[in-house]
Structure 1
């Protein structure tokens, strides 16, 4: 991994907290998400990941730290991250410093192809692009297409990786060894020691979401542990 030219250097070795709520979740409320962001920033988060223009704008007013912005829609429970240029522009205009983009095999066929979209975001919006991927091959393709960083966000949510709900440490190692881009570990991070292991393997930053910001998921994990 080389020093990135366009990706925020302030995120290196930092914990990024994803402040999102699934549709129908009691926390899926703009003021709640804003307060959630303030809380994790007070706890020491080095940046945020947020979904949708309204949430990004609300969080932008609270911090100058980097925000990874996405525009997420769901179909049959499957996420589609930043499906078109209009959604990318909306989150950029709202104040996102980085645009997250699904560059995986799980991208919906109804969405704009990610390669030309990635180019438009970088050239027209002048924002760095974080490529959400699930495999090494997808990461290499994103790097070749001009992505500024990659994240393991889509591991477990694509046809090839469906159903896997733990960090693929071999994938993380291979990404760090093979790419000249920052590698961000995101998805299935549940414990502080997993964050430390990510950094020990050479990750640029780590994103944690549900393990910090979703009480329903946290409670369910405790209940499962009690019953095992």
Structure 2
């Protein structure tokens, strides 16, 4: 069975705690990841080399790895450098995701995909538009994700729900489609699959306790 076969029809849990929050520690990230796998997760999305190493030692399911940076001269945050790719590959990534948007960046997306593939790892393109997906597919990305839809200047205002239009468009390209971004309920996860996704990534609703607590607190105070 291939890696994509393992993920097809499955759930990926993104274990990314709030930055600098009380759960932002490698041992806690690894524990969250193990709990997600115990609950049925078919794969994980993990940020950072230390978190990846801790999680890789705790689970055997496929891991989508990223490294986030805040750059002074680029809006690109997800795995912007070739050195990031090398570090994640050495730490045990099965898949490395990168920002596949057409924005100013320190390394070209084509170079990142080439480096990911040279490391023997699969590339996942975090996209915001159909054009991003087409370019990523041509450059050799194996997975197209809707991750950045609504989070770029070009796509701001797309709404709070899952981008089903982009899921369908990626499906029509014949790509392996990862629905990601604002999948905050089981119903939205089901909608993503019904719209043509091959797998769904859920993060905030499962692993960012501060945010989910805020949702409930707001509901309670609104009554």
Asked if Structure 1 and Structure 2 have the same fold, meaning a TM-score greater than 0.5 normalized by the shorter chain, the answer is yes
Q: Secondary structure at the match of 1:15?
A: strand
Match of 1:211 in 2: 205
Partner Cα distance (2:54, 2:160) in 1: 31
**How far is 1:6 from its partner?**
6.8
Aligned: 1:73 with 2:69: yes
Q: How many residues align?
A: 219
Partner Cα distance (2:141, 2:184) in 1: 27
Match of 1:114 in 2: 109
Task: Answer whether contact 1:56 1:96 (CA < 8 A) is retained.
Answer: yes
For normalisation by structure 2, the TM-score amounts to 0.91
Match of 2:5 in 1: 9
Partner Cα distance (1:79, 1:192) in 2: 29
Q: Secondary structure at the match of 1:134?
A: coil
**How far is 1:36 from its partner?**
0.8
Alignment RMSD (CA, Å): 1.9
Task: Answer whether contact 2:76 2:99 (CA < 8 A) is retained.
Answer: no
Partner Cα distance (1:97, 1:155) in 2: 24
Match of 1:97 in 2: 94
Match of 1:136 in 2: 130
Q: Deviations over 1:4-32 (max 9, x none)?
A: x9753100111100011232222111111
- Out of 181, 184, 208, the position equivalent to 1:190 is 184
Q: With CA pairs under 8 Å and 6+ residues apart, which has the higher RCO, 1 or 2?
A: 1
Q: Secondary structure at the match of 1:8?
A: helix
Partner Cα distance (2:215, 2:170) in 1: 29
User: Where in structure 1 are there 5+ consecutive unaligned residues?
Assistant: none
- Trace 1:31-180 onto structure 2 (pairs within 5 A): 31-75=27-71, 80-105=77-102, 107=103, 109-122=104-117, 124-163=118-157, 164-177=159-172, 179-180=173-174
For normalisation by structure 1, the TM-score amounts to 0.90
Partner Cα distance (2:2, 2:78) in 1: 21
Q: After the TM superposition, which of the residue ranges 46-55 and 78-87 deviates more from structure 2?
A: 78-87
Task: Answer whether contact 2:18 2:208 (CA < 8 A) is retained.
Answer: no
User: Where in structure 2 are there 5+ consecutive unaligned residues?
Assistant: none
Runs of 4+ with deviation above 3 angstroms: none
Task: Answer whether contact 2:33 2:59 (CA < 8 A) is retained.
Answer: no
Task: Answer whether contact 1:50 1:67 (CA < 8 A) is retained.
Answer: yes
